[in-house]
């Protein structure tokens, strides 16, 4: 049993993230309000892809991170096994929405998906048990580079906000793989079995 888990973990980390993805490259020309993500510098997870899916006046953004690392080493190892068994993946997947008006201008960002919040609130990066808040934030509250909003990834489990939390350093992620697809496609693409 342990041998099988090791093989699955190796495949998940080294092989799976590069197989079977229908990438569309950089969608900057397609989505004017494609976010610029600011990830905590000490976060060891890599942003593998951002899935975009248009649903009427909502654009769904689903981010896929290589993993998530709990701040306590031993709990992190147990949590990783739990996630593989429960979700059949090591990748961390988080979703939010941008609502646009009739002129295709963004009006608000909805940090929630299927009843589970993806908003960090005031929580720090190292919060041991970060709560998933739901929040709808007016687009005018976001700092933007032209029409691209800055979205901060404030916690180790990748919860979002329109602002920095605390005094940690961030790395800007402007260019990343954009895949046309919804949350369900992201979950299918990164499922181990």
The residue behind tokens 């800055």 is 150
| Contact by Cβ (8 Å): 77, 104 | no
* Nearest alpha-carbon partner for 155 in 122, 116, 126: 126
CB 152 within 8 A of CB 96: no
Express each pLDDT in 170-192 by its tens digit.
Answer: 999 999 999 999 999 999 999 99
- Mean pLDDT value across residues 81-110: 96
pTM for this one?
0.84
CA distance 5 to 46: 22
Q: pLDDT tens across 131-164, in order?
A: 999 999 999 999 999 999 999 999 999 999 999 9
């Amino acid at each position: 049993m342990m041998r099988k888990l090791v093989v699955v973990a190796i495949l998940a980390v080294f092989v799976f993230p590069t197989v079977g993805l229908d990438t569309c490259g950089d969608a900057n020309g397609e989505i004017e309000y494609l976010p610029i993500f600011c990830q905590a510098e000490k976060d060891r997870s890599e942003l593998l892809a951002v899935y975009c899916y248009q649903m009427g006046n909502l654009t769904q953004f689903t981010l896929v991170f290589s993993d998530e690392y709990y701040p306590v080493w031993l709990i992190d190892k147990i949590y990783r096994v739990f996630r593989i068994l429960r979700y059949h993946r090591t990748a961390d997947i988080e979703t939010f929405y941008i609502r646009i008006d009739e002129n295709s201008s963004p009006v608000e960002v909805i940090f929630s998906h299927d009843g589970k919040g993806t908003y960090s609130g005031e929580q720090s990066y190292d919060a041991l048990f970060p709560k998933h808040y739901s929040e709808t934030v007016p687009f005018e509250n976001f700092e933007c580079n032209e029409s691209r909003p800055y979205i901060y990834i404030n916690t180790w489990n990748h919860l979002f906000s329109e602002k920095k939390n605390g005094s940690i350093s961030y790395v800007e992620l402007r260019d990343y793989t954009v895949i046309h697809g919804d949350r369900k496609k992201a979950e299918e693409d990164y499922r181990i079995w």
